[in-house]
Structure 1
Amino acid sequence: MNKPIQPSQTNAYYVQAILSFGLSLTAMTIAVIYLPAAGWVRAFLGLGLLYLVTSTITLSKVVRDRQELSGVSTRVDQARLDKLLAEHDPFRVDS
């Protein structure tokens, strides 16, 4: 049977994603710290930044979990179909 091709990520893509996230988080943190505004404004923006980061991580986990669940249900459906096809004998005569 043909196995479905699983999408794979290269190490370079993984490193690029981590570096991009780290760089953007660092840049925004520095920008909030050195913003010429009152302390409470910087604190408010810092809280907004933290909320944005945590919600982004949560969203990425939800999307990943949904994709994995979709892959599992597809494999289960494929296994059921394979079993039905294996058990089916088109030349069997019912008496």
Structure 2
Amino acid sequence: MGSQDKYWLNYAKLTFIIAVAAMIISIVMLPGDLLIKGYYSICSLFLISATITLSKAVRDEAESKKLLQKLEEAKTAQLLNELDD
């Protein structure tokens, strides 16, 4: 992992922590009773969970396509080598 990747990962983690902290603070400071704060808290947790799941699914799909492309390239190279022989 290069240094740029490390910095990007640290940036992503930091912005996630800041966003979660801002959401928690805003819910705590929200005027209203506990029921309203609980509703917004559960919605926020669901949004975080859905975001993580979506990002993992998109990454997995991209990695799968990348692997299939490498396999196709290897098959093509093997066929070309057999034709040269």
Structure 2 unmatched runs, 5+: none
TM-score relative to the length of structure 1: 0.82
Structure 1 unmatched runs, 5+: 1-8
Equivalent residue, structure 1, for 2:72: 77
CA distance in 2, matches of 1:38, 1:48: 16
CA distance in 2, matches of 1:10, 1:44: 37
TM-score relative to the length of structure 2: 0.91
Secondary structure (helix, strand or coil) at the match of 1:36 reads coil
Secondary structure (helix, strand or coil) at the match of 1:88 reads helix
Identity %: 32
Write the letter of the residue equivalent to 1:29.
Answer: I
What is the root-mean-square deviation in Å for CA atoms of aligned residues?
1.3
Greater helix percent: which structure? 2
Structure 1 ranges of 4+ moved more than 6 A: none
Write the letter of the residue equivalent to 1:56.
Answer: T
Higher gyration radius (CA): 1
Equivalent residue, structure 2, for 1:21: 16
